[in-house]
Structure 1
Amino acid sequence: MKHLLVYFTKTLHLNPLFKELVEEKLKEYRLYVDEYIVLDVNTANLDFFINLQDSKYTHISIITEESSFCIVNKFLATMNESELIQSDDDFILKDNLKYQNSSLLIKLNDKFVNILKAKDYFLPEFLYEDTMMNVFYILDDDFDGVNVILNTQAKPYGVKVYVFNLFNGLICVNIFKEKFSHLDGFMQSVRALFDKKIIEEINVFSFILNKLKEKNKTITFAESCTAGALVNEFSKLDGCSNILMASVVTYSVNSKKQWLKIDDYCANNVYSNECTIAMAKGALALTKADYAISTTGLLGKDDFNEIKSGDVFICVANNEKNISKKLKLNSSRALMQKECALACAVLLLDFDKELFFNE
């Protein structure tokens, strides 16, 4: 599956928040953008749309505004020798697969084309079927072994498998259906092979939230180097208020001492497993949650004594036990924060496998 995203707008493609909205919506439909194009509203012509017929893409999403939505429909009607009909306040291509709330889905030769009329921060729903691609995760350190097993297993079922390491211990699997694929059969075989290791949701944090909600458990966070990146992953999800007790960002040593009650040793060794354990215990005492996750480390460009840039310490704890881990990260500051949040999710899943993987 090859996906082209086209911005046929005067100003919306310049708005970074709107572009983030588009990306989030596409993720819901398991669509990745292979290429995106900004089309000049003033100079666009029919030739561009004619060329789309012979392009390599199977799915083409065109983001328009009110005026350009009409232009696209006129071009496509001319190409297909079709008619325009009025629906709601729009003139749309008569030969369409579906039209719903300013979103139109058509078939252009063998390609699906979805035209969406956006406005300010309103983006209509994409109308693609959400079953064209499946995403799931496997908790396993043996990437090469998992890759071989999945690709071997996929052949009899006629599906294409793309496997990559999202983070050490967390393998992301993308499954693309072919014309005669038997996806259900493939997934049944994967469940049998990777029992209690498979996460069948597109979002790992959503999987955790749903399991905690199901088991009536709560969680809290004490973050330093991630500065709220971890709790942000959960707060973006519907239902987070059912499981999220509180979160503190204790960036300074003083805030760690005052809010989380870490001792002098941890205060003098904030980049350590001992400190992150103390932070998690302090968060549990502060909020009375069932689980706590804490982070501390060095994400700046410079090293600090024996601590190197990218050295991060994370901990998961409950009232009975705790587990901590040192990470070695090497990327931009923002990406390291996201990687750390993901590592915390993996550590939590490993911390209580009975809760997350037993029915």
Structure 2
Amino acid sequence: MRHILIIVGEEIHINEPFMDYILKRFKEHFTHTPLISYIGNSDKELPFKIENLAKNYDYLTIIANESNFYTISKILCTLSSDSLELKNDTLMPSRTELFVENSFVAEILEAKINLLKACPNKALPVFLLENTTRTENFMLNAVNKDDALSLLVSLADSFNVNIFTSQILPELVLVRATNQKFGQIDEFLASVNERLKKHFIKGDNIAEFIVSSLKAKGLNLSFAESCTAGLVAAKLGSISGASEVFSGSLVTYSNHIKNVWLGVDEAVLETKGAVSSQCVEQMAKGALNMSGADFAIAISGIAGPGGGSREKPVGLVYIAVANDEHCEVRECHFSGDRDYIREQSALRAYSLLLESFWDEIVE
């Protein structure tokens, strides 16, 4: 199934929160992240662009602002030699059979096109196309990518499944599996899980996997964050049901707060610094003591663009994960801008939690 998402109108694609919402809704419905094409307002080439895309893709989901919605409705009528008709308070080609308010499906050149009217600050209309190709995502944690890929390719061939991989972190690989004709995707997933038991994460959201695992065990988690400023906690909080496993979080940017709130020794802060293995170990233990949680994650680092030095460059991040019996610390070196370093830090924190405490959290 060749599918593309088309965003028409600057009003939509310059609105970052609204675009995030659209992409989340798309992924929830179709179970994959889309290939996206952006088209501006008053684009004189719009009819030709839609026609060319209809020639190259089986499915088009077009999301347009109000003015472009009616323009595209007329274009679809022209391309299908149809006329406009008002149905369910929405103007659309008269031969349209599948529609709801502000969303309908037209067929052009054998391509199915779902046009939706999108207004910022309002709920998105219903997606009407169906995902005809079975797609499943999973992640592999704490594996050698080359060895894992060799195994995945062999299993994919055996079960008639296509796979695509992307390295999220050096320790974390995202895999998308899609069924070929007569494919056995459930059997493929079961086989991967069996062979890579302590590395297999169902879905593509590691925080969601941790929430479901902790809920099943009746366990909870707390955080102490510095350079990520609550990002790790926010990722957990975005998951439905997180309140059952989320004890609480402390954002401790200054050394004074690390000392007063978490009990990090002044001597450690003065001699080793806030960005050190000793500091994050004490931050994690402090978070456990303050919250009474079963597990804690602590992060401190230099996200940049300033603040780095020769000894401690931008991208240096220390992560600690702990329970009452054990604390594991990692020194990490990330690249990119401030946001990407913080994002990688948060994901690695979750990755390290599973790597260190899989038996306690998942098994």
Same fold (TM over 0.5): yes
2:351 corresponds to 1:346: yes
Q: Give structure 1 stretches of 5+ with no counterpart.
A: none
- The correspondence for 1:216, drawn from 187, 211, 218, is 218
Aligned to 1:113: 113
Alpha-carbon distance between aligned partners in 2 of 1:94 and 1:266, rounded to the nearest angstrom: 73
Instruction: Using the TM superposition, name which of 232-241 and 182-191 deviates more.
Output: 182-191
Cα drift, residue 225 of structure 1: 1.2
Structure 2: which amino acid aligns with 1:5? L
Asked if 1:315 corresponds to 2:317, the answer is no
> 240, 256, 274: which one pairs with 1:238?
240
Cα deviations by residue, 1:43-78 (Å, 9 ceiling, x for unpaired): 4553333222322x3432211123432332332233
Decide whether aligned partners of structure 1 residues 45 and 275 sit closer, same or farther in structure 2, where only a CA change above 3 A counts.
Answer: closer
1:221/1:292 contact within 8 Å kept: yes
Output aligned runs, 1:41-190, within 5 Å.
41=42, 43=44, 46-55=47-56, 57-82=57-82, 84-93=84-93, 95=95, 98-122=98-122, 123-130=124-131, 132-190=134-192
SS of 1:11's partner is helix
Q: Greater shift after overlay, 1-10 or 14-23?
A: 1-10
1:101 to partner: Cα distance? 4.6
1:306 aligns with 2:311: yes
Kindly provide the CA deviation profile for residues 222-263 of structure 1, in whole angstroms up to 9, marking residues without a partner as x: 001111111111122222222212111100100101111111
Query: 2-side partners of 1:187 and 1:107: how far apart?
Result: 35
| Structure 2 residue 63 is the aligned partner of structure 1 residue 30 | no
The answer on whether the counterparts of 2:222 and 2:296 sit within 8 Å (CA) in structure 1 is yes
Please give the alpha-carbon distance, in whole angstroms, between the structure 2 residues aligned to 1:285 and 1:101. 53
Deviation at 1:305, TM superposition (A): 5.9
Shift of 1:151: 1.4
Question: In structure 1, how many angstroms separate the alpha carbons of the residues matched to 2:361 and 2:85?
Answer: 51
Match in the other structure for 1:280: 284
What is aligned with 2:339?
334
Q: CA deviation at 1:110?
A: 4.7
Q: Secondary structure at the match of 2:278?
A: helix
Shift of 1:172: 0.8
CA RMSD of aligned residues (A): 2.4
Give, in whole Å, the separation in 1 of the partners of 2:93 and 2:216: 45
Are 2:294 and 1:290 equivalent residues in the alignment?
yes
Aligned residues with identical type, % of pairs: 28
Partners of 1:97 and 1:107 within 8 A in 2 = no
Q: CA 1:248–1:195 in 2, change beyond 3 Å: closer, same or farther? A: same
Mark the runs of 5 or more structure 2 residues left unpaired by the alignment.
Answer: none
CA distance in 1, matches of 2:289, 2:54: 62
Aligned with 1:145: secondary structure?
A: helix
Kindly provide the amino acid, as one letter, of the partner of residue 256 in structure 1.
K
Distance change in 2, residues 1:93/1:209 (3 Å): farther
Contact 2:79-2:108 at 8 Å conserved across structures: no
Do 2:105 and 2:129's aligned partners in 1 also have CA atoms closer than 8 Å?
yes
Structure 2: how far apart are the matches of 1:331 and 1:149? Answer: 31
TM-score w.r.t. structure 2 length? 0.89
Q: Number of aligned residue pairs: give it.
A: 357
Paired residue for 1:248?
A: 250
SS in 2 for 1:308: coil
